[in-house]
Amino acid sequence: MARSKSGAARAQPLALELLMSDHRKVEDLFEQFEQEKDSDEGTRREIAQQICAELTIHAQVEEELFYPWLREQLEDDDMEMVEEAQVEHNTAKDLIAQIEGATDIDEVYNAKVKVLSEYIKHHVQEEENEIFPEVRDQQDELDELGQEITARKGELMEEMGLAEEYSEEDEEGEEEGGGRRGRSSSRESTQRSR
């Protein structure tokens, strides 16, 4: 019906498209880290912190919006997939906290990022191959949920002071540091266009 209106241009309902684009973005960042794993500490820390920030926001919108919606939609049989996903988030967050709190950017640091990447790869495969197909046909609701996800992501990025940093626009005058949680991103940012 209305489904084929914008048809070939978009294969996924909005919520799934957004979550999948986050997944691809984080995969790219993990790949960047892998390529830079012998680079200087600043570069490694910067990429790893981007990974952690992206994953933190992504996990939060899933937990606040997507997983609760899934719990309403799925049959009891499928519910364990959501519970497992939640447990995986919790474990990933432990690792993220270790990476964010690391003082030494050494081999152990690289190992933690590597393990996180493998862990997330597994988690993403389960979401995309097992969970998403169960709900993909609920286009309208997922489009609506997608709007909420976009709005919430925007709020969270702003709270974390990420929006400007990532778009590489000038940060001067926005140096307030509130909500940056000691991320010291502006100090370490090497990508100022000034």
Site for Fe ion, rule CB under 5 A: 62, 127
Nearest CA to 60 among 71, 68, 48? Answer: 68
Contacts (Cβ under 8 Å, ≥6 apart) of 34: 114, 117
Specify the residue, 3 or 24, whose C-beta has the smaller distance to Fe ion: 24
CB of 67 to Fe ion, least distance (A): 8
| Residue 105 near residue 41 (C-beta atoms within 8 A) | yes
CB of 78 to Fe ion, least distance (A): 15
CB of 26 to Fe ion, least distance (A): 9
Specify the residue, 62 or 165, whose C-beta has the smaller distance to Fe ion: 62
CB of 124 to Fe ion, least distance (A): 6
Separation of alpha carbons 90 and 78, rounded Å: 20
Specify the residue, 18 or 99, whose C-beta has the smaller distance to Fe ion: 18
| Residue 50 near residue 168 (C-beta atoms within 8 A) | no
Specify the residue, 127 or 165, whose C-beta has the smaller distance to Fe ion: 127
CB of 98 to Fe ion, least distance (A): 19
Contacts (Cβ under 8 Å, ≥6 apart) of 16: 132, 135, 136, 142, 146
State both tokens at 17.
């498209």
Contacts (Cβ under 8 Å, ≥6 apart) of 76: none
